[in-house]
Chains A and B, each alone.
Chain A
C-alpha cells in the first residue's frame, strides 16, 4: 500500500521543524541557565567586595592598602562557587545528552510508524505509536530535571554563598573609636577582616567539598533514572513486537 506523497512530504517537514524547535529550545534553556549562573556569581562577588571594603573603612583604613588581600579572597571565593556550579553543569549536560537521545529515538519511532502504515503492519504501527508516547514521558522528565537543576543551582548557591554585605550589621564608629583606630586599625583589619574571612573560606572549602560529594551520588541517581527509562522504553517496544508476533520469543 502506498502513502500519499503530499502527506509524506508534510510529515518530513513537520519532523524537520520539530527537530529545529527542540534544538533551539535546548539552546535557549542553556542561555537562561548560564545567565542565571553568571548573575548569581557576580552578585555574590560584588557583595563580598562591598562587605570587605565597608569593614576596612570602619577600622579607618583605606581599601588600597588591602587590594591584594581582597583580590586573593575574592579569587578563592569565586573558585569555590565554580566548584559547586561544576556539579550542576555536569548534571545539566548529562540531562541534555539524554534528552537529545530521546528526541532522536522518538523521531525514529515516528518514521517507523509511517513505514508500518505503508506496509500495513498494524501491530508494528501500534507498538511504534506507544513508543512515541513513552519517549514523550521520558522527554518531559528530562525537562523537569532541567528546570530542577536550574532552581536547585540557584537556591544552593544562595544558601552557601549568602550575600555578605546584607548579612553585615552596620557598624557606626563614634569619635573615640575613630581615634583608637588610628593606633590599632591596621591590626584590627588584619585580625577581624582578612584573617576572619580567610578562616571563613577554609570552612567554606570543607562545606563545598561535602556538598559536592553528597550531590555527586544524587546526580548519578537522577541520570540513571533517565537512562533506565530510555532502556525500558526500548524493551517495552520489543515486548510489544513479540506480542504482535513479529519476533520469536
Chain B
C-alpha cells in the first residue's frame, strides 16, 4: 500500500488496516455490517419502549 489507511479498534485491539490480510478485512466488514443491523434493531426496540412508557 502506498499510504496508511489508519487504524480501527476491533475486538479489543488496534488493527492497522494497511497491514490487515484481505480475508481479515472481509471478515471485519461482514461483522461490522451485521452489528449495524443488530444496533438498529436495538434502537427500534428502545424507541418502542419509550413510547410504551410515555
Contacts and interface: CB of A to CB of B under 8 A. Distances in A.
Contacts of B26: 32
Given A3-B50, A117-B50, A117-B51, A34 B5 contact: yes
Interface residues of B, number: 29
Interface of A is mostly: helix
A79 to B, nearest CB: 15
A31 B5 contact: yes
Contact of A32 (B25, B35, B53, B54): B25
Interface in B12-54: 17-18, 20, 22, 25-26, 28-29, 32-33, 35-36, 39-40, 42-43, 46-47, 49-51, 53-54
A83 interface: no
Contact of B18 (A11, A31, A129): A31
Interface in A11-67: 11, 14-15, 17-18, 21-22, 24-25, 27-32, 34-35, 38
Pairs A-B, 5 closest by C-beta atoms: A25-B32, A31-B17, A18-B39, A28-B29, A31-B5
